[in-house]
Chain A
Amino acid sequence: MKNEWPLWEIFIRGQHGMSHRHVGSLHAPDAEMAIKNARDVYTRRNEGVSIWVVEANHIAASSPSDKGPLYEPSESKVYRHPTFFDIPEEVGAM
């Protein structure tokens, strides 16, 4: 491979009190430059108050074919939701 700068995934905290959210990616030679570039590419209109950068090859991801084994088990567990339980009206707010 040639001298291509590594790819970084960019996460931005939009407002105080919110989580960082993935907004996209960019190339940069190192973390410091990735943050500087992310500021120019992803926060030109007050989109953020904090930036995280992670080199893309450090991210492990689940595979689309694991969708069944990973998420189907929770489909049958409706009792995990509060709406599963009938609470008599006279009990009031719960």
Chain B
Amino acid sequence: MYAQMVQSEATQDDPEKLAAFQARIDAGEKIEPKDWMPEGYRKTLIRQIGQHAHSEIVGQLPEGNWITRAPTLERKAILLAKVQDEAGHGLYLYCAAETMGVSRDELTEMLLDGRMKYSSIFNYPTLNWADIGAVGWLVDGAAIMNQVPLQRTSFGPYSRAMIRICKEESFHARQGFDAIRKMAEGTSAQKKMAQDAVNRLWFPALMMFGPSDKDSVHSAQSMAWKIKINTNDELRQKFVDQTVPQIEFLGLDLPDPTIKWNEERGHYDYSDPDWSEFFEVIKGNGPCNVDRLAARNKAWDDGAWVRDGLLAHSRKKAARQHAAE
């Protein structure tokens, strides 16, 4: 998902406190920042929420890439609004992480020097306008699968951030579907582009849910703490089941020839993505890893004088006001 392979921390707290904490979670209570929490819960959530926030921010890059080249003024305005939403989502999530005692600058630095990750999906390029439609429809569609259940997560600030995000996210998926539908119903060249975008982005979208359950070692503790609600494979299956009929509606070919309705399971069968490619991308060897991090580092460095200047101005103003009193 937007947070993949988040390692959960073992916890070495007082067993009595741990049991009381687990009982609160089991009873459906929300944990708030000032409440007692196990160190492992805190660390795991900082990592998870931080990674999610970084994904929202880095996720602006592949789409921002097409704002100036959107085919119509209306599409440009829509894409601009969507990319602005992503910035907002990043901010909601950073604030949620900060309530656990990590600073914004620390989170930013950990992204910039590679200590923290963002979703593997944003290391793939958006080569043409059809990709922008496919990203909104498939990538945001996959994100929604994970974010909807996370509205019920145990940590109050995270849950509230997810509720805000989910309200805005369905606009993202719909505008993407609308854009690619236009192309799928267009000239044969446009339809070809739509098909090509779906073919290229299908498996990277499936990777967003993280490794298969049998290889997913961090799930049990996170699920007990309700910071992960469904397993990776459950969410991936749900995404496939929802998306296959949409691809068929568009009149496009399925991007994976093994996709087939399985009457017995009541689900579509499908092929796993190439997990070796996924691990390479996570390690930093995807097509755009270097560009993405370079772009974020440049933005941070180029913005330093603005951050410092505004802070200096506000301090000077406060000092002047203080002197006048």
Contacts and interface: CB of A to CB of B under 8 A. Distances in A.
The interface centre, meaning the residue of B35, B105, B160 with most chain A CB atoms within 10 A of its CB, is: B105
A25 interface: yes
Interface in A1-28: 1-5, 7, 24-27
A48 to B, nearest CB: 13
Given A27-B104, A30-B317, A3 B92 contact: no
B85 interface: yes
The interface centre, meaning the residue of A2, A5, A24 with most chain B CB atoms within 10 A of its CB, is: A24
A26 B95 contact: yes
Contact of B91 (A29, A41, A64): A41
A5 B314 CA distance: 10
B98 interface: yes
28 contacts: A3-B307, A5-B307, A5-B310, A5-B311, A7-B95, A7-B98, A24-B92, A24-B160, A25-B95, A25-B98, A26-B95, A27-B104, A29-B307, A29-B311, A29-B313, A30-B310, A30-B318, A40-B88, A41-B91, A41-B92, A44-B81, A44-B85, A44-B88, A45-B168, A61-B34, A63-B34, A64-B34, A64-B36
Interface of B: 32, 34-36, 81, 84-85, 88, 91-92, 95, 98, 103-105, 160-161, 164, 168, 307-308, 310-311, 313-314, 317-318
